[in-house]
Amino acid sequence: MTTVEPSPGLAQPHRLAWQEARVEAIHAETPEVKSFVLRPQSWSGFTAGQHVDIRLTAPDGYQAQRSYSIASAPDDSGTIELAIEALPDGEVSPFFHDVVEVGDTIELRGPIGGHFIWNAPLGGPLLLVGGGSGLVPLMSILRHRASVAPEVPATLVYSARRYDDLIFRDELFRRRDADAHFRLEVALTREQARDGLHFGRIDAALMARAIGTETPKLTYICGSNPFVEAAASLALAAGLPFGSIRTERYGG
């Protein structure tokens, strides 16, 4: 049905060691999402779209692990940014929101992931479709594209509940206004349309508009499983080839 090419420029697999990372900054992005700038002790870069694994350890040795995508673009700052949504009754995400402070150290390892990634040799046009915190790896791709290949056409379709839930909202609108090759389609599911934003779930009409006249070479879809299922079905129904669509599912 499809052939899946390995992505160019992927580092050879190596042993991923756990290491400590210092929390350098924390920003409230939306009522439910905070971003965390982390400085791992040793970091040799990553590819946009990858994630890290976080490991928390209680005093008695009990541990919890979760995965979080990297929101920042690969650069030589030696830091990475995560954006974490607080889930009610969750174990790890509320800890980040309620307990973690600048100066803390958090154990992580990475980067991880060799499929939901983009670098300039992969080219475009790109269609990025994110639901809720599924925006995070797409943001890394967008930021990376803006700095290394701004001529690659990219469209972001981003679904959130409300205007105030749009992660990195100001930056996205700024990029939309400043970048002729970047288009933004926002769908708000629980709030009326405003500022050219669409009301309701992503549907066939919105998908058709996002695809526009230039068929994307690669489509990246990320979010909860129901979101990814719905968006991938729309992309297939719009005629995008199965093998050009990559998904990352955050569970649920």
Partner 1 sequence: MATRGFFGKRPTEIEADRLPPGQYLTEDFPVLSAGPTPHVDLDKWSFTLKDGVRPVAKWSWDEFAKLPHVKLTRDIHCVTKWSKFNTAWSGVMIDDILAEAGIEAPTGFTLAHSFDGYTTNVPTADLVGGKAMIATSYEGKPITADHGGPARLLVPHLYFWKSAKWINALQFTARDEAGFWELRGYHMYGDPWREQRFTGD
Ligand X SMILES: Cc1cc2nc3c(=O)[nH]c(=O)nc-3n(C[C@H](O)[C@H](O)[C@H](O)COP(=O)(O)OP(=O)(O)OC[C@H]3O[C@@H](n4cnc5c(N)ncnc54)[C@H](O)[C@@H]3O)c2cc1C
Closer Cβ to ligand X, 116 or 182, answer by number: 116
Does residue 66 touch ligand X according to CB under 6 A? yes
15-23, 39-47, 88-96, 179-187 -> range binding ligand X (CB under 6 A):
88-96
Does residue 15 touch partner 1 according to CB under 8 A? yes
Residue 212: Cβ within 10 Å count = 13
Does residue 100 touch ligand X according to CB under 6 A? no
Does residue 235 touch partner 1 according to CB under 8 A? yes
Q: Which residues of 4-14 are buried (b: 16+ CB within 10 A; e: fewer)?
A: eeebeeeeeee
Distance of alpha carbon 92 from the chain centroid: 18
- CA angle 159/162/166 to nearest 5° reads 60
22-30, 78-86, 180-188, 238-246 -> range binding ligand X (CB under 6 A):
78-86
24-32, 58-66, 145-153, 172-180 -> range binding partner 1 (CB under 8 A):
58-66
Does residue 47 touch ligand X according to CB under 6 A? no
- The tokens for 107 are 């154990």
Does residue 34 touch partner 1 according to CB under 8 A? no
Q: Is residue 111 a contact partner of residue 9, using CB atoms and an 8 Å limit?
A: no
Q: Is residue 7 a contact partner of residue 71, using CB atoms and an 8 Å limit?
A: no
Alpha helices in the chain (DSSP H): 93-98, 135-148, 169-178, 204-211, 225-237
Instruction: Round to whole Å and give the CA distance between 139 and 47.
Output: 12
- The tokens for 66 are 């979760």
One of 29, 85, 165, 185 touching ligand X (CB under 6 A):
85
Alpha helices in 16-134 (DSSP H): 93-98
Residue nearest ligand X (C-beta atom): 90
Residues 110-139 that bind ligand X (CB under 6 A): 133, 136
Give the binding site for partner 1 (CB under 8 A).
1-4, 6, 10, 13-16, 20, 55-59, 62-67, 91, 95, 99-100, 104-107, 112-116, 221, 225, 229, 232-233, 235-236, 242-243, 245-247, 249, 251-252
Give the binding site for ligand X (CB under 6 A).
51, 66-69, 83-85, 87-94, 133, 136, 248, 250-251
